[in-house]
Amino acid sequence: MTFDSQAYAVQLEEKVTRLRDLLAPFGAPEPVVFDSPLKNFRLRAEFRLWREGGDRHYAMFAQDDKRTPILIEEFPIASLRINELMPQLKAAWQASAALSHKLFQVEFLTTLAGDAMITLCYHRPLDEHWHTAASKLAADLNVSIIGRSKGKREVIGQDYVVEHFEVGGRTFSYRQPEGAFTQPNGTVNQKMLNWAYDALGDRTDDLLELYCGNGNFTLPLATRARKALATEISKSSVNAALSNLSENAVDNVTLVRLSAEELTEALNEVRPFRRLQGIDLKSYEFGSVFVDPPRAGMDPDTCELTRRFDNILYISCNPQTLADNIAQLHDTHRISQCAMFDQFPWTHHMESGVLLTRR
């Protein structure tokens, strides 16, 4: 793969044009564009292992062909740390039957701050020989190692990495757990965080956040509001978000493990939820809502819920569902700010952001 800057510029402009065209019916302003490094931008990677020539090799597959492996020695779009670890890990499993026996998948998670974790997946139970070999490997490579077999997980070191992002002149630290979602392009994620922080501005009222994940946006955005209520359905993400709020001394956030749909029911007083016990929803003076939904976008009821707020700050990983949601809200809200974030260079995927304000 070549990393030609001119080819990248052409592809980036194609994405901007696509976003511009999708949002044109709503009178969107020209998007602010945040580009990506051309290579070594991806902080996580997952490889199947493929036997050939008597050894296991890193392998990936084309989307339309799951039978023909693409054998890989290096992965230039991945972080420098992942590319450094790949041959070291391969040499270790080649030299150790305890590490290589029935090993079928490897996952790397790294951070801009230099932390790293490797997950090794096996079709067998993990025994003392594996634990001894994996402990030595973790020490040699200065990483945490997670061993996974059916229904079991062994942790050597920590089951998370720690990332640092600077937003609004403050450095926030984030636990990123193994297996939980994190933004793959750390450089662009920091640009997204700062754009959202600036777009929200200083508020004297309260913030509602849906789909908060590990608190990626929660930490900086909560410092812009009087107080915040954040929701997330994934238990591991909720636990990470609670740790991140505590470690960063962000103490004006209440976090509840509810889906966006459940919170909509709670705010509409359709039914009570035990997980909201002790939380007085009527004490909040919500002026803004922040959403970062999955690729399907917001369901119609959640979309209607956001209409109540003067400001809707929306980060999207799918510009088509973003446009669909804006179409539902366009009669009451207009797009006052717009941005495109190239989280996934060399693919057609992109992240975008809009600030919708009440007409």
43, 65, 294, 323 from 339: Cα distances, Å: 22, 35, 18, 13
Residue 158 backbone phi and psi in degrees, to 5: -125, 155
Element of type H or E holding 58: strand 55-62
The answer to the question of whether 58 is labelled as a binding residue is no
Give the active site residue among 212, 303, 317, 338. Answer: 317
How far apart (Å, rounded) are the C-alpha atoms in residues 217 and 197? 8
317 is catalytic: yes
Q: Is 292 annotated as a binding residue?
A: yes
25: three-class secondary structure by DSSP: helix
351 is catalytic: yes
Beta strands 32-34 and 333-341: pairing type? parallel
Is 216 marked as binding a ligand? yes
Query: Which residue matches tokens 């002790």?
Result: 278
Q: How far apart (Å, rounded) are the C-alpha atoms in residues 316 and 326?
A: 11
* 320 is an annotated ligand-binding site residue: no
To the question of whether residue 232 is assigned a binding role by annotation, the answer is yes
Distance CA 325, CA 320 (A): 9
CA distance 189 to 165: 9
Ranges of H-type helices in the chain? 5-23, 80-95, 97-100, 128-141, 186-200, 218-222, 235-247, 260-267, 300-306, 319-329
Residue 22, CA distances (Å) to 32, 43, 189, 318 in order = 15, 30, 23, 11
Supply the residues annotated as catalytic: 317, 351
Annotated binding residues for S-adenosyl-L-methionine: 183, 211, 216, 232, 292
